[in-house]
Amino acid sequence: MSTMKTEFLCVLLLCGATFTSPSQETYRRVRRGARSYKATCRDEKTQMTYLQHESWLRPLLRGSQVEHCWCNGGRAQCHSVPVRKDGDCYTGNGLAYRGTRSRTKSGAFCLPWNSVFLMSKIYTAWKSNARALGLGNHNHCRNPDGDTQPWCHVWKDRQPTWEYCDVPQCVTCGLRQYKRPQFRIKGGLFADITSHPWQAAIFVKNRRSPGERFLCGGILISSCWVLSAAHCFQERYTPHDLKVVLGRTYRLVPGEEEQMFEVEKYIVHKEFDDDTYDNDIALLHLKSDSLTCAQESGSVRTICLPDASLQLPDWTECELSGYGKHESSSPFFSERLKEAHVRLYPPSRCTSRHLFNRTITNNMLCAGDTRSGGDHTNLHDACQGDSGGPLVCMKDNHMTLVGIISWGLGCGQKDIPGVYTKVANYLDWIRDNARP
């Protein structure tokens, strides 16, 4: 014990000070403004409790991985995910953050977790499981109590308090656990939702009979916003009649980790042209009782939006996904999510001349299956029912949304590409409209 620490304790004893360590729940309530929690899942590893559909990260004892967990029906479902080794950012709520940042958002320096000024605090280097929580002889930001983001103790107004740290959140959009399709079908491949976790399924209530029907695909771009195609909503449904399902592999069969939402409102581009399908884009706002809606999991994740200056080389291979028909003559939509691999056509091959004099605008792009030779009866393409779904391409190791499935001439015809809404042209429109 250092002289400083001994003197500090002696002063406290002379003053008759006593330490009463509050319970963990009391500390959490005080530190977060007496926020009320109704727990439905308990994580035995971290001894924390979580609400239904709430997600969190917990560190594994070995290796550079953490487990991403999700509260589902009173049971925690977890899977391992990699952690960035550079520590520049945190994922989830930062529970597994082990970086070296040690300043708060106000610019204050963090106190060491073994500071003598923290003797009365719960989360310190002396806590029994301090090592597992990342606490020790350092002042690096941590999140030992499962808060919303990393924090630390600071000295302010002559007493110790706490503040959130100036640590950026890692970019997790466009990441996935890709599973190679095992079943080839006409027009594409059967896929698992974990390979396309941004894929949404939009349903609408039947007007003349009970029940609902599948309407279109959609794309999760943030916790509470889904992109789709404007032409899907030409019948002007009321938001109350719409439902969005995330995390579902089979179109009509509930998934183990699926999330279902009513629609608060939807916004169709004011300049959508139902003759040419120019400006074929729409936004759906998911309904939620909190500031967040969709919870990130292995089956549900946002897609990255492109930069306005994004320029991918001609013939770049990309992917599309959806629950649409196998071919134009099929009487039913696919029962399972499908994926297709197509290439981006150069602008010189995406013109009216190449699409039987149909209007092509600068807000559109073309992509199709360019395989040559052999059998052309199984070319990959979008089809009826895929509308509103994603066309995504790899950019900087993240899948990025390049297009929204819009229209085409038939399905999978040789040398005839599908037409997609060019997302990069609508970034300002998305930003201006996708607000709470």
Judge contact between 187 and 418, C-beta under 8 A.
Answer: no
Catalytic residue among 53, 68, 153, 231: 231
Q: Which two tokens stand for residue 106?
A: 């106000």
Note the residue count of the chain: 436
- Rounded CA separation 403/227 (Å): 11
**C-alpha–C-alpha distance, residues 145 and 43, integer Å:** 12
- The active-site residue, picked from 228, 321, 387, 406, is 387
How buried is 97 (Cβ within 10 angstroms: 0-12 exposed, 13-18 middle, 19+ buried)? buried
Q: Which tokens go with 305?
A: 């939006």
Q: Collapsing DSSP states into helix, strand and coil, what is residue 431?
A: helix
Gap between the Cα atoms of 270 and 54, Å rounded: 36
Residues 6+ apart with CB under 8 A from 258: 245, 246, 247, 248, 299, 300
Cα(25)–Cα(202) distance, rounded to whole angstroms?
Answer: 40
Specify whether the CB–CB gap between 243 and 200 falls below 8 A.
no
Spatial separation of the C-alpha atoms in residues 290 and 308, rounded to whole Å: 31
Answer left, alpha or beta for residue 172, where phi above 0 means left and psi between -120 and 50 means alpha.
Answer: alpha
Rounded CA-CA distance 284/197 in Å is 17
Question: Which member of 280, 369, 381, 386 is catalytic?
Answer: 280
Task: Tell me how far CA of residue 19 lies from CA of 9, 131, 145, 256, in angstroms.
Answer: 11, 23, 21, 47
Distance CA 12, CA 119 (A): 11
Per the annotation, the verdict on 231 as an active-site residue is yes
> What is the rounded CA–CA span in Å between residue 359 and residue 138?
63
Residue 185, strand partner residues = 188
188: left (phi > 0), else alpha (psi -120 to 50), else beta? Answer: left
Let me know: does 252 contact 334? Beta carbons within 8 Å.
no
Q: Is residue 201 within 8 Å of 214, Cβ to Cβ? A: yes
Distance of alpha carbon 285 from its chain centroid, rounded? 15
For the annotated catalytic residues, the residue numbers are: 231, 280, 387
